[in-house]
Amino acid sequence: MIDSRFFREDCYINGLWVGGQDRIKVNNPATGEVIGSVPKFGRKETAAAIDAAQEAFLLWREKPAVERGELCRRFYQALMDNQKELGRLLTIEMGKSLKEAMGEVAYAANFFRWFGEEARRIYGDVIPSPWAGKRIIVTKEPVGVVGSITPWNFPTAMIARKAAAAMSAGCTIVAKPASQTPFSATAYGVIADDVGIPKGVINIITGKAGEIADEMCENPKVRKITFTGSTEIGKQLASKAMLHMKRVSMELGGNAPVIIFDDADLDRAVEGAMISKYRNSGQTCVCANRILVQAGIYDRFAEKFAAAAAKLKVGDGLEDGTEQGPLIDDSAVTKVEQHIEDATSKGAKVIAGGKRHARGRSFFEPTVLRDVTPSMLIARDETFGPVAPLFKFETEEEAIAMANDTEYGLASYFFTSDLGRAFRVMEKLEYGMVAINEGILSTEVAPFGGVKESGLGREGSKYGVEDYINTKYALFGGLTK
Ligand code: SIN
């Protein structure tokens, strides 16, 4: 049991806490201890949550934008006022360090603040009419009930990115968190009560992923599906949602390149690549999956980068000074091991880490591999763990070709001090997001999302609201006397 009033083991539906007999147990990945359980709900309970969201939608959409915005702002404040307590809950169920967890709570809160402000700026248009005596007006309307499915790697922020956008636009939401990390989500029910969100506007349901997703995709009251997770599941959900012509936002997998050019500031490049790779123990869809280093700087970069990785402090996220927590579970570790084994069997060399950490469980040493080539598994597949593979390239054209040689197109990064190159490369990278001389780019004010098989739609920023809005064209005729 976790001693926090935010720790709730029931679902939050229509403003009420709803329990069930059939349960899913939840572990702390750092200790293996069972910390609690949540209901294993299915289609019936999901349909009930959707009904509640639909009823609430009819009232919520009528609220003046300024009032919806104010409730979002209060949500922001509540998250910030309880940042440490919520961060602790997140660390216990997910494993990331308390520092990162508190950072995530602030990241989540910022979405509520941003979208709360945006609520007042969802403007329509008046289009000059081509006909005398007629007027063309364009209005913006909330899409309706939103079904949201979010992953375990950012259990607080991913819901916020969707719920805040939905709520500001006038939509209501049924949110299904990952079964590994439901408590950061059920905590949203406590906050919703605290800040006075009307019942049914936000509903949190836990349980059988397939059944909940099917109900969301097939129930006609749901008008939009938003998902963050793997490309494989995203494709399944998008096809099901499409059968019912629902709007979709899909934030899917990545295979992010970090390109280090010879002319880069070496220390800045090492620092940027470190944060990109090892944030959240490498369990992010925007984290460096391939580090491409130009031949002239390769050895020096490899040496400094490996030294920095070896210094990272691995431990329970609640311990002081921990920089890298455990991976989410044993299958995550197995995947990391397979990538290392495949690379080393084909000629890559381990220059830092390389194996399970002495602490046992799902702790893994921050690892660096050099002499990695595009024929290795790690070049194609998202590792989702703390392994940095260093590839070598000779020319700018080769780096761009290598970077784009993937079906994914989410985040990319490069380091250079040449302004011309910065623009050339930025324009040629086939990615939804590009960071130049920076290793982290996530913020609520910028559009987050990918191209190619990394997904559809954008989250955060003014573009993020558009995904929750329908455009209506109204023609007013007969206006002449
Ligand atoms: C993700 O990994 O899905 C999100 C990462 C972020 O928002 O920075």
Cα dist from 193 to 12, 16, 431, whole Å: 10, 9, 40
Residue 2 has a pLDDT of 86
Residue 469 has a pLDDT of 98
Q: What's the CA gap between 16 and 12, in Å, rounded?
A: 6
What is the dihedral angle through the alpha carbons of 305, 311, 317, 318, rounded to the nearest 10 degrees?
-150
CA of 98 relative to ligand 1 center, distance in Å: 17
> What stretches of 154-294 show up as alpha helix (H) in DSSP?
157-169, 183-195, 209-218, 231-243, 266-278
Can you tell me which atom of ligand 1 is nearest the CA of 440? 8
Residue 220 has a pLDDT of 98
Minimal-distance CA residue to ligand 1 atom 8? 442
Token pair recorded at residue 131: 């006909």
CA of 283 relative to ligand 1 center, distance in Å: 9
The answer for residues whose C-beta is within 8 angstroms of residue 112's C-beta and 6 or more apart is 72, 73, 75, 76, 79, 160, 164
Minimal-distance CA residue to ligand 1 atom 5? 284
- Give mean pLDDT in consecutive 10-residue pieces for the chain, a chain of 481 residues: 93 98 98 97 98 98 98 98 98 98 98 98 97 98 98 98 98 98 98 98 98 98 98 98 97 98 98 98 98 98 98 98 97 98 98 97 97 97 97 98 98 98 98 98 98 98 97 97 87
Cα dist from 273 to 112, 177, 337, 353, 447, whole Å: 29, 30, 21, 17, 22
Catalytic residues: 251, 285
CA of 346 relative to ligand 1 center, distance in Å: 31
Can you tell me which atom of ligand 1 is nearest the CA of 251? 3
Q: What's the CA gap between 410 and 256, in Å, rounded?
A: 7
Pocket test for ligand 1, best of 110, 153, 181, 459 (most atoms within 8 A of CB): 153
Q: What is the 3-state secondary structure (H, E, C) of 5-70?
A: CCCCCCEEECCEEECCCCEEEEECCCCCCEEEEEECECHHHHHHHHHHHHHHHHHHCCCCHHHHHH
Residue 76 has a pLDDT of 98
Can you tell me which atom of ligand 1 is nearest the CA of 161? 7
pTM of the model: 0.97
Pocket test for ligand 1, best of 154, 156, 162, 276 (most atoms within 8 A of CB): 154
Around ligand 1, the residues with Cβ closer than 6 Å are: 153-154, 228, 284-286, 442
Residue 481 has a pLDDT of 87
List, in sequence order, every residue forming a beta bridge with 356; answer none if it has no partner: 364
CA of 285 relative to ligand 1 center, distance in Å: 6
Residue 104: in which H helix or E strand, if any? helix 98-118
Can you tell me which atom of ligand 1 is nearest the CA of 283? 2
Instruction: Work out the number of other CB atoms within 10 angstroms of the CB of residue 311.
Output: 11
